[in-house]
A = this chain, B = another copy of it.
Amino acid sequence: MKACILAVGSEMLTPFKVDTNSLLITERLNAIGFDVRLKAIVADDIDEIAAVVQGAIGWADVLIVTGGLGPTEDDLTREAVARVLNVTLELDEQIVSGLRERFARRGIVMSDNNRRQAMVPKGAVVLENRNGSAPGLLLRGPRTDIVLLPGPPREMTPMLDAVIRDRLSGKSQSRGLWRRTLKITGRPESEVDAVAEPVYSPWTRQAVPISTTILAALGQIELHLTASAASADEAGVALDRAVDELRGALGPSVYSVDGRPLEAVVGTMLKERGLTIAVAESCSGGLLASRLTDVPGSSAYFERGVVCYSNAAKVELLGVPDDLIRSQGAVSEPVARAMAEAVAVRARTNVGVGITGIAGPDGGTPEKPVGTVVVAVSVNGETKVRTLTLFGGRDMIKFQSAQAAMNMLRLMLA
């Protein structure tokens, strides 16, 4: 069953306003088996509202429209929908008297423009609004049910819940959508998809179908699995099996199947193994320490960090030999190794991490261009070192450096 969500209001088309109503509406619709296929935001313009409504009734089983139900000239949702359905708008005297009472309770005489809110397309069901003046409307069509709700979340949410419970939940035969996310790092998107696609593509045709979306974010790939099932239990069984199969195919590059970020996964591993960590950062500038300490309870394993931006700091805070920096360069495998090992020794921790590199935009050379980053991870005295070539701006290089260091540690601890 397919759903469309439309938000009406010119203020939603400025650079400052994000549409958040649609997230809540999506969650509620998914739970009763509707798949949201289109979200749109239009200006307060009757032609443009009508065009989106017209388009949706070609394919959507339900269309939820928020906004444009107020008393002003700008509020055109009722008119637009009536035009598309070719029905007349009629004054509902019950709504008028309800509005008049509402105003009277607040000691105000109802101004005439509020009568707009009582105009109802012929055949519509009126939905009560307990938290505001604009009633909602439900128009049942041969294919598409159209639900008109006010924009303010406080008014919209209880009305949505009521219309879903009383009017829509039967429509979809109650299959719902349930989701799972796999997070993967250390492999490019195309390679992940080449491995995963043969695994997930048959799932769309099974009894509990699962659709899969691949999403590349900075320093990680996400696989979103969505199961359509009659119950949470049925979805859970299918999703567990799907996650296991993908893990089998993708191996240890999968670091999370429960939404947790890499710093939380690594934090749990350190905690469970009773290990402590200290980090020495140059180009990542404290971002690794900050991400590790974003995790509640990280003080149990995070002992200290040093951000040794200058060479003097590397010598004084870590005892990296000045000679080594001069002969090998600050961005080099021996220096990264010395940083990782020294910070662990000085902090008396099991784990030490060293990151040194060129975050740019300046400081690159032909041999060591911007994006050259060396990461060293030392676990109980055994150290691994990797030289990476990262892309992007300064903040991207910082993020990927921290991501690579945590992933190296994760693989060494696994």
- A365 interface residue per 8 A CB criterion: no
- Do B305 and A307 touch (CB < 8 A)? yes
Q: Which of B37, B217, B306 touches A45 (beta carbons < 8 Å)?
A: B37
- Do B294 and A317 touch (CB < 8 A)? no
Tell me the residues in window 198-243 of chain A with beta carbons closer than 8 Å to chain B beta carbons: 211, 213-218, 222, 224, 226
- A324 interface residue per 8 A CB criterion: no
- Do A394 and B294 touch (CB < 8 A)? yes
- A144 interface residue per 8 A CB criterion: no
- A70 interface residue per 8 A CB criterion: yes
Pick from A17-25, A83-91, A244-252 the stretch touching chain B. A17-25
Chain A positions 303 through 314: 1 when the CB is less than 8 Å from some CB of chain B, otherwise 0: 111111110110
- A48 interface residue per 8 A CB criterion: yes
- A321 interface residue per 8 A CB criterion: no
- A253 interface residue per 8 A CB criterion: no
- A161 interface residue per 8 A CB criterion: no
- Do B393 and A154 touch (CB < 8 A)? yes
Q: Which chain B residue lies CB-closest to A303?
A: B310
Q: Which of B10, B37, B154 touches A213 (beta carbons < 8 Å)?
A: B10
- A14 interface residue per 8 A CB criterion: yes
- Do B43 and A37 touch (CB < 8 A)? yes
Cβ–Cβ < 8 Å partners of A110 in chain B:
190
- Do A309 and B313 touch (CB < 8 A)? no
The CA-CA distance from A108 to B17 in the complex, in Å, is: 41
The CA-CA distance from A359 to B152 in the complex, in Å, is: 20
- Do A307 and B307 touch (CB < 8 A)? yes
- A323 interface residue per 8 A CB criterion: no
Q: Which chain B residue lies CB-closest to A211?
A: B10
- A73 interface residue per 8 A CB criterion: yes
- A292 interface residue per 8 A CB criterion: yes
The CA-CA distance from A178 to B96 in the complex, in Å, is: 38
- A105 interface residue per 8 A CB criterion: yes
- Do B19 and A19 touch (CB < 8 A)? yes
- A350 interface residue per 8 A CB criterion: no
- Do B294 and A395 touch (CB < 8 A)? yes
Q: Which of B23, B43, B71, B391 touches A16 (beta carbons < 8 Å)?
A: B23
Q: Which of B30, B45, B193 touches A72 (beta carbons < 8 Å)?
A: B193
Q: Which of B26, B298, B306, B308 touches A15 (beta carbons < 8 Å)?
A: B26
Q: Which of B16, B284, B285, B287 touches A224 (beta carbons < 8 Å)?
A: B16
- A44 interface residue per 8 A CB criterion: yes
- A289 interface residue per 8 A CB criterion: yes
The CA-CA distance from A358 to B359 in the complex, in Å, is: 31
- A39 interface residue per 8 A CB criterion: yes
- Do B39 and A40 touch (CB < 8 A)? yes
Q: Which of B10, B15, B73, B197 touches A23 (beta carbons < 8 Å)?
A: B15
The CA-CA distance from A288 to B242 in the complex, in Å, is: 41
- Do A307 and B294 touch (CB < 8 A)? no
Chain A positions 49 through 93: 1 when the CB is less than 8 Å from some CB of chain B, otherwise 0: 001100100010000000000111110000000000000000000
Q: Which of B70, B286, B292, B392 touches A305 (beta carbons < 8 Å)?
A: B286
Cβ–Cβ < 8 Å partners of A292 in chain B:
285
Which residue numbers of A lie inside 8 Å of B, CB to CB? Answer: 9-20, 23-24, 26-27, 30, 36-45, 48, 51-52, 55, 59, 70-74, 105-108, 110-111, 113-114, 131, 152, 154, 179, 188-191, 193-194, 197, 211, 213-218, 222, 224, 226, 279, 281, 284-290, 292-294, 296-299, 302-310, 312-313, 316-317, 346-347, 359-363, 389, 391-396, 398
Given A72-B189, A294-B394, A307-B307, 17 more A-B residue pairs with CB atoms under 8 Å apart are: A13-B26, A14-B26, A16-B23, A18-B20, A18-B23, A38-B43, A40-B40, A40-B41, A113-B194, A154-B218, A286-B307, A289-B290, A294-B398, A296-B362, A297-B362, A304-B309, A305-B307
Q: Please provide the 9 A-B residue pairs with the shortest distance between their CB atoms, ordered closest to farther.
A: A285-B293, A286-B289, A305-B307, A286-B286, A304-B313, A15-B27, A286-B290, A287-B290, A40-B40
